[in-house]
Amino acid sequence: MSERITYTSTEGNESFHAAYEMALEGIAPLLGQVHPIHIGPDEIMTGRQFEVRSPIDRSILIGSFQSGGEGEAEKAVATAADGSADWDGTPWKERVAAVRSAADDLDRKKYELAALVTLEVGKNRFEAIAEVAEAVDMIRYNCRVFLEHEGFVLPMSPVAENERSESVMRPYGVFAVISPFNFPLALAGGMTSAALLAGNTVVFKPASASPLCGLMLYLAYRGGGVPPGAIHLVTGPGKPFGSVVTSHPLVDGIAFTGSRDAGMWLYRTLAANQPFSKPLVAEMGSKNPVIITPAADLDAAVEGVVRSAFGYGGQKCSATSRVYVDSRVAESFLGKLRERTDSLRVGDPREKDVYLGPLVEESAAGKFREAVELARKDGGTIATGGTVLEGGLFGRGSYVRPTIVTGLPHGHHLTRDELFVPFVVVETVSSLDEAIRAANDTEYGLTAGIFSRDAKEISRFFSGIRFGVCYANRKGGATTGAWPGAQPFTGWKASGSTGKGTGGPYYPLSFMREQARTRAT
């Protein structure tokens, strides 16, 4: 196993920078190619292609990919169903070995993959290498869970002396996996590895903004020993794929990470089209709060909020988007927050000192502009930021200044709707109880944080907050930075459908169902 690389371990690590910059040059031949859909052993060219261009600079062609429609989705499902018995029948330790080999392959290629993440989705080098490291650890952690639970076969107490009973967790069959653009390796790796380890065959559709990262993950599985009947890759628009997998009788479950609207469409359509219940393992975003009390270390709070609100341009479902600060420290906190935010450099994320790169989707800049205009219209104050950058590189991508808004009325929809841009609303409160009530006043429930050096306040926060992933005094990220095996990424309420978080010990159970077995002896 190679040296573990994370976000914090790369800061000031010159060997990392040299390896990353070499990888940026080395992956150039990978760009601009035409890529097929992979169904079973076949490479399929549909005759319908879409281009993916780098959000950093739209003149950079990442590649051309096949636009799969309903026909390709149906073929992939049927092929996955044909391969289901063989993969289910593969001993679970052999499945673990194949999936773990895929993680080892990703680890060996971590610098090249980090460079690709930067080019394809616009993460800076620190966030890109952390993305790859998280993907590797996510897959390895899921493998470890299966090993620790011995394939989820548990002896039970027999009813009669001449009987032997056991509980066996079995795969559902065929799982469709739909992954987002913002963590094209880590979140895709978590969903696909759990499904495969459980013995399901997988039809994998990466986001159309990041199909090359998805292809690299697929190839890692195939290179690691996952057979062609067990995993299939379909690229293209989401609607025809979603229409097929929510209605096809051979699809036994769906794993999805993305927006609440898309997740709820899948949920409703799956329920309407299927005559019986099939699992939907969904994580659907959030509107994440941070509470600042008078007992907080304000410098730590500022750093934690900045990293979580503006890391990767706020394009994370765990990003801080609401801050509730006690009125007694509000002025001091806001001044420090504004100063730290203004120090962040926006630009080409390939450059070493750039913190914020571009927004991935061009439409996001329009959403950002609308949010700023609405904040001003409804009485808010733009404490800093609020501008879409133009000219030079900024004219070839969607770049915005990280933005802090104050003075909006409580309950304003900018404090309720997920924006996925670097935009945070700061409100003042008079007590911790008021802050917790305001933080909970949302349909979402993914991540939340508090800054306080009072142990009783922290205990009140943990017991009163209605979110799945909760942090106290986390300078490295007030609401972000969950890691496999440390912080299971669990969404409550509209943020998740299962209550079992990826990167946690119970997550693989979402991809299996129990079978009781009794043998007379």
Q: Which residues are catalytic?
A: 283, 317
Q: Give every strand in the sheet of 33-35, ordered side by side.
A: 33-35, 61-66, 49-53
Q: How many other C-beta atoms are found inside a 10 Å radius of the C-beta of residue 137?
A: 23
CB-based contact 408:375 (threshold 8 Å): yes
The tokens for 226 are 């996952």
Alpha carbon distance 196, 186 (integer Å): 15
Q: How many other C-beta atoms are found inside a 10 Å radius of the C-beta of residue 43?
A: 12
| C-alpha 225, offset from chain centre | 25
The tokens for 15 are 């060997």
Question: Which positions ≥6 away from 89 have C-beta within 8 Å?
Answer: none
CB-based contact 172:132 (threshold 8 Å): no
The tokens for 338 are 């504004």
CA–CA–CA angle 343, 348, 352 (5° rounding): 65
Q: CA dist 317 to 121, 289, 426, 486, Å?
A: 15, 12, 18, 18
Alpha carbon distance 347, 116 (integer Å): 17
DSSP state of 73: H
Q: How many CA atoms are closer than 13 Å to the CA of 202, on its beta-carbon side?
A: 30
Question: Which positions ≥6 away from 172 have C-beta within 8 Å?
Answer: 198, 200, 252, 253, 278, 279, 511, 512, 513
Alpha carbon distance 321, 479 (integer Å): 10
CA–CA–CA angle 483, 484, 487 (5° rounding): 60
CB-based contact 511:173 (threshold 8 Å): no
Alpha carbon distance 362, 399 (integer Å): 9
Alpha carbon distance 387, 383 (integer Å): 12
Alpha carbon distance 34, 170 (integer Å): 38
Question: Which positions ≥6 away from 116 have C-beta within 8 Å?
Answer: 27, 30, 212, 213, 216
Nearest one of 347, 503, 348 to 21, comparing CA atoms: 348
